[in-house]
Structure 1
Amino acid sequence: MQSRPILILVLAGGLISLLAIGARAAFGLFLEPVSSEFGWGREVFALALAIQNIVWGLSQPFASAIADKYGSGRTLLVSGLVYASGLFLMSQTGSATELHLTAGLMIGMGLSGTGFGVVIGSVGRAVPEEKRSMALGIVGAAGSLGQFLMVPLGQAFIGNYGWSMALILLGVCVLLMIPAAAFVTGKASDSATAGAASLSAAIREAAGNGSYWLLFFGFFVCGFHVTFVAVHLPAYIVDMNVAPEYGAIALSVVGLFNVVGSLASGYLGGKYSKKYLLSTLYFLRAALFVAFILIPISPVTILVFAGVLGLLWLSTVPLTSGLVAVMFGPKYMTTLFGFVFFGHQIGAFLGAYIGGLAFDLYGSYDIVWWMSVALGIISGLLHWPIRENMPVQRAQAAGG
């Protein structure tokens, strides 16, 4: 791994994140046209994406462990094929069950091996500690750039070809990650970096660490926030009598500004306490949601909200994954971040599903917006007491 130029690894990993996260970010655009065509309430499509997120979360630790043991490249190759197949089959769906199996189960499994977890672990092992936070920020920024590029592309596909062909075209785009997988290689046994003696020892150590659990529950809130917004913001904007294209524009702006946010968090995470930066991000999200709820909705307020939220969006990823590496060493960070990411996806499941359920019950998203405020405050508090250090004996071993 170390012989392969790190720049190529980071760029290939960034391309995979761009495609995987970018295509996923466009799914919210399909809620209204798919629901309208089949006469479903919003809960049906929301449940499909909720299943996707929980399957992603449940599969992530296994995909991460496979990558640690057998190599990142193989994991990315198989997962990319599953992801693309899910999109192709989703385009032919004719029932709620088929939607849940394709958009939910298959794409969720595909994302577990192509989303941030596997790429972050490979990059984290290869990059020296002093440059690791910035490298992880670049990977996160690439995912956000994917959102910026692929959400308007998805909207253009839907507008010109209909939702079914749009999914096929997104599937073709996702297949581009297959050749990139050849450059994101390596496994835990190749690494000479600090970490537990074995994968099972690393898992036991993390499970007995209170700070690890605080990170787990804090990342739960991130999943709730970003998935609720990504899935339901386009429909919410239509509900507020604003032109529907602003839904795609808003998600694209979120992605654009998070390129800056992810790079900034990667840079700052290398210089300042990661846990305090995370607390600040969550408190700022809560304040932003309050402002969005109370200020009348207009195209201008939507774009301002999207831009500020973009700065806070996936900026949590380099900081959270960086904390895992600081606390336990980078050797098994793919698997250990995978378990933390499961917490994120539990939140994502609830953010997607509760959003659709609340709308169908009350005809409004208001209760979910206020839940998001409360959860942001809670997450900000949870990160504060995290202990940001590696056990002494392994830190000494790594230095010697």
Structure 2
Amino acid sequence: MSTTSSKRFTPAFNHTTLVILAAALVLSAAMGIRQTFGLFIGPFSFDRGLPVTLIAFAIALHNLVWGFAQPFAGAAADRYGSAPVVAFGATTFAAGLGLAAATPSGPLLIVGMGLLVGIGVSCTTFGVVLPAVGRVASPEKRSMAMGLVSAGGSVGQVLMVPLVQGIRLHAGIATSLFVLAFVMLMVAPLGIVLDRRAPIGAPRHEPPAAPLRDTLAQAARHRGYRLLTLGFFTCGFQLAFIATHLPGYLSLCHMPIGLGATALALIGLFNMVGSWGCGWLGGRFRQHHVLGWLYLIRSATIGAFFLLPKSAVSVVLFAAVMGLTWLGTVPLTSGLVAKVFGTRHLGSLFGVCFLSHQIGSFLGAWLGGVVFDLTGSYSLLWQATVASGLIAALLHFPIDDTALPTPALRSEPASA
């Protein structure tokens, strides 16, 4: 009896582990590369004579395009599988980086780093890879599995930032961007692994889902889903502002050259622990409560960093705490959506929610450049990140996380 059970358990374990590893590698490449964009603001401005506002707009635009494309990318992965979506996204991502590397033109930089990179990121990050993981993991392990993928995705941030910094200093902007494009092409085939089916005889974790249209209508009526979507705006706003403008802000504070790259790498390093930890907490406590506390801790950290004197020690401590709370919102948010609505249309539902995140990302990156050009300071944006975090915490605590029956099985709409 024990031998039979072991034989049945091992393939499922290996299958799930393989999907987690593939998802982590795809996410690591995509998220690690986009985390380096803040390092190019100064070189694009000084070497190519482009205004900071235009460069910040290009970086911000990819966040906005990512957000609008994410529901479509998630729906395509739900329907056709992850392999074609990841392959298309990785190729488009690489093309955008190559275009930004090859031309000093501002409009083409916007097309490459803004439009093409945004489409590529939408097909190679959370809205595509996490639903694939959610479908192979059991409900009780789903939050932790998504946390592991998010943590593995941080490896790219840890490795890419110092790599790009070194290549850029020794070989220039173009070479470093071409290297990043090559990395994206290397992960394109991994979507095939994400489409691996569960082993024969593996249990189904939930009943068949209703059509996408009915599920979207159900989500639109759900008060908790609306609050979650609104709160996710803050995550994008805070992270995009810090990732894009922290190196420049530290230069204004007369911090040592290279400390900005070190801080971004440290954020990625500690995010490995934070993403796994948030996924672990989400499997043991109510996920929306963990999200509320995460936003409170993040906002308090940002406020303290802005108000207190700057030093190398304070920058390292800030990066460490921010890393612990950086992308922990993603496994918690996607896990909460899966808990309430199931996993069949998780890519589409998370994609709609993620659009709010990316509108916040666009504003965080772009307004940072606008405010700096107008005032010569980032102070207003630091204050805005603190205030938005407090509002997000208040939005998350009252969310109702009760699992809903599929619309097809309901006799009448349930009140949220």
TM-score in same-fold range (> 0.5): yes
Pick the aligned partner of 1:229 from 242, 245, 256.
242
TM-score (norm 2): 0.92
Q: 2:68 matched to 1:55?
A: no
What SS is found at the alignment partner of 2:403? coil
> Which residue pairs with 2:397 in the alignment?
384
Change (3 A) 1:270 1:195: farther
CA contact (8 A) 1:72 1:185 kept: yes
Which one of the candidate residues 113, 117, 121 is aligned to 1:111?
Answer: 121
Match in the other structure for 1:99: 109
Corresponding residue for residue 134 of structure 2: 124
The correspondence of residues 178-327 of structure 1 with structure 2, limited to 5 A, is: 178-185=188-195, 193-194=206-207, 196-327=209-340
Listed one character per residue, the Cα deviations across residues 294-352 of structure 1 (whole Å, up to 9, x for unaligned) are: 11111111111000110010011110000000110111111100111101000000000
**Corresponding position of 1:46:** 56
Distance between the aligned counterparts of 1:193 and 1:21, measured in 2? 31
Distance (whole Å) between structure 2 residues aligned to residue 62 and residue 184 of structure 1: 18
Select the residue among 370, 380, 385 that pairs with 1:357.
Answer: 370
1:374 maps to 2:374: no
Q: CA deviation at 1:180?
A: 1.6
Query: By how many angstroms is 1:221 displaced?
Result: 0.3
Q: Is the 8 A contact 1:194 1:331 kept in 2?
A: no
The answer on 1:158 being equivalent to 2:183 is: no
Larger gyration radius, structure 1 or structure 2: 2
Kept in 2, the 8 Å contact 1:60–1:339? The answer is: yes
Please tell me the residue identity of whatever aligns with 2:59: L
Shift of 1:196: 3.5
- Distance (whole Å) between structure 1 residues aligned to residue 133 and residue 345 of structure 2: 12
Contact 1:131 1:270 in 2 (8 A): yes
CA gap of 1:194–1:236, structure 2 versus 1, over 3 A, is farther
Report the equivalent of 1:173: 183
Question: What are structure 2's unaligned runs of at least 5 residues?
Answer: 1-10, 411-416
Q: CA deviation at 1:26?
A: 0.6
Q: Please, which of 23, 27, 36 is the counterpart of residue 13 of structure 1?
A: 23
C-alpha contact (below 8 Å) 1:48/1:100 kept by paired residues: yes
Amino acid at match of 2:323: G
Which consecutive unaligned segments of at least 5 residues does structure 1 have?
Answer: none
Contact 1:148 1:256 in 2 (8 A): yes
CA distance in 2 between counterparts of 1:47 and 1:22 reads 20
Q: Which residue of 1 aligns with 2:4?
A: none
- Could you list the per-position Cα deviations for residues 53-88 of structure 1 after superposition, in whole angstroms to 9, with x for gaps in the alignment? 000000000011111111111111111111111111
* 1:268-300 Cα shifts (integer Å, max 9, x gaps): 100001011000010111111111011111111
Structure 2: distance between partners of 1:36 and 1:220: 32
Write the distance in 1 (CA, Å) between the matches of 2:405 and 2:79: 26
The answer (yes or no) to whether the contact 1:17–1:140 under 8 Å persists in 2 is yes
Tell me if the contact between 1:83 and 1:109 (Cα under 8 Å) persists in the aligned partners.
yes
Q: Is the CA contact (8 Å cut-off) linking 1:195 and 1:332 kept in structure 2?
A: no
**8 Å CA contact 2:214, 2:407 repeated in 1:** no
Tell me, yes or no, if the aligned pair for 2:210 and 2:408 is still in contact at 8 Å.
no
Which residue matches 2:5? none
SS at match of 1:388: coil
1:261 is matched by which residue type in structure 2? G
